[in-house]
């Protein structure tokens, strides 16, 4: 017999968002301002951010690396779950996103905790030599390069640290063999899920569009 998971119907989803969200007035306003600046509305969701905050606190994370800043929503949410002497590096390619996020990080009073890098992630990581290991890596950018990011950063993830990636359900298309939307991205995500499952102890948490979590021993 198959055990069926409880389907996340609208009322249950709303219950989750209403009660277990990372949002406050500042983050809500950030999303409104980002929209006014024509920044795409593709930040992680509030309940997903709370889930990541929970993981960060559970593993006593101090050092986080994020690829893909956008408006700074996830970076700010994650930084808030770090201790006072914690540090988060976030890498963003687009000038407009970088400038917007930098301002928001300052407004949030987190410039001492968050370092935002304006760079193409692959070029940045090729030369990156951090003076500490990372507890948590969050990949949320160009899907086709995730394998390369992991290969470059793996040696800087501490034992017991976690590598995570958003959109593990590929916008809902992960099970489809001929998806009509973003077929290349979906192919990349599927292949990345397989790669991570084989390389690390991994799972997908069904929050947002699926959050891949891989544990480094």
Ligand X SMILES: C[S@@+](CC[C@H](N)C(=O)[O-])C[C@H]1O[C@@H](n2cnc3c(N)ncnc32)[C@H](O)[C@@H]1O
68 binds ligand X (CB under 6 A): yes
Terminal Cα distance for the chain, rounded? 33
Q: Is residue 73 within the footprint of ligand X (CB under 6 A)?
A: yes
Q: Which residue sits closest to ligand X, CB atoms considered?
A: 68
Report the residue count for the chain: 217
CA dist list (Å): 51 to 16, 56, 118, 208, 209: 11, 9, 27, 10, 13
- To ligand X, the closest distance from the beta carbon of 7 in angstroms equals 25
Q: Which residues touch 12 (CB under 8 Å, ≥6 apart)?
A: 6
Q: Is residue 135 involved in binding ligand X (CB under 6 A)?
A: no
> Coil, strand, or helix at residue 152?
helix
Least distance to ligand X from the beta carbon of 98, Å? 8
Query: Minimum Å distance from CB 199 to ligand X?
Result: 21
Output the smallest distance, CB 138 to ligand X, in A: 7
87 neighbors 75 (Cβ within 8 angstroms): no
Q: Residue 113, class by beta-carbon neighbours within 10 Å (0-12 exposed, 13-18 middle, 19+ buried)?
A: buried
Given 21, 53, 74, 193, the residue binding ligand X (CB under 6 A) = 74
Which of 21, 43, 53, 188 contacts ligand X by CB under 6 A? 43
CB atoms near residue 16 (< 10 Å): 17
Give the shortest CB-215-to-ligand X separation in angstroms.
Answer: 21
Q: Least CB distance from residue 142 to ligand X, whole Å?
A: 4
CA nearest neighbour of 155 among 176, 178, 128? 128
Q: How many residues bind ligand X (CB under 6 A)?
A: 20
Q: Does 115 bind ligand X (CB under 6 A)?
A: no
> Which uninterrupted H or E stretch holds 58?
helix 46-58
From 42-50, 52-60, 81-89, 125-133, span contacting ligand X (CB under 6 A):
42-50
Q: According to CB under 6 A, which one of 97, 143, 190, 216 is a site residue for ligand X?
A: 97
Binding positions for ligand X, rule: CB under 6 A: 42-44, 67-71, 73-74, 91-94, 97, 120-121, 140-142
């Amino acid at each position: 017999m198959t055990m069926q998971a409880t389907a996340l119907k609208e009322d249950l989803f709303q219950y989750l968002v209403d009660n277990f969200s990372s949002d406050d007035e500042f983050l809500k306003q950030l999303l409104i301002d980002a929209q006014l600046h024509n920044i795409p509305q593709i930040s992680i969701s509030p309940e997903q951010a709370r889930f990541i905050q929970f993981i960060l606190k559970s593993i006593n994370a101090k050092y986080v690396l994020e690829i893909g800043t956008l408006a700074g929503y996830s970076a700010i949410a994650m930084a808030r779950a770090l201790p006072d002497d914690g540090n988060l590096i976030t890498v963003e390619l687009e000038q407009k996103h970088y400038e917007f996020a930098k301002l928001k990080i300052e407004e949030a009073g987190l410039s001492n905790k968050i370092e935002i890098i304006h760079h193409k992630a692959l070029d940045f990581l090729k030369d990156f030599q951090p003076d500490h290991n990372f507890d948590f890596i969050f990949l949320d950018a160009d899907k086709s390069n995730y394998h390369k990011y992991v290969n470059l950063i793996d040696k800087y993830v501490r034992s017991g640290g976690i590598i995570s990636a958003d959109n593990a359900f590929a916008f809902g298309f992960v099970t489809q063999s001929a998806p009509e939307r973003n077929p290349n991205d979906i192919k990349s995500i599927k292949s990345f899920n397989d790669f991570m499952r084989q390389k690390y102890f991994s799972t997908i948490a069904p929050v947002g569009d699926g959050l891949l979590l891989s544990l480094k021993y």
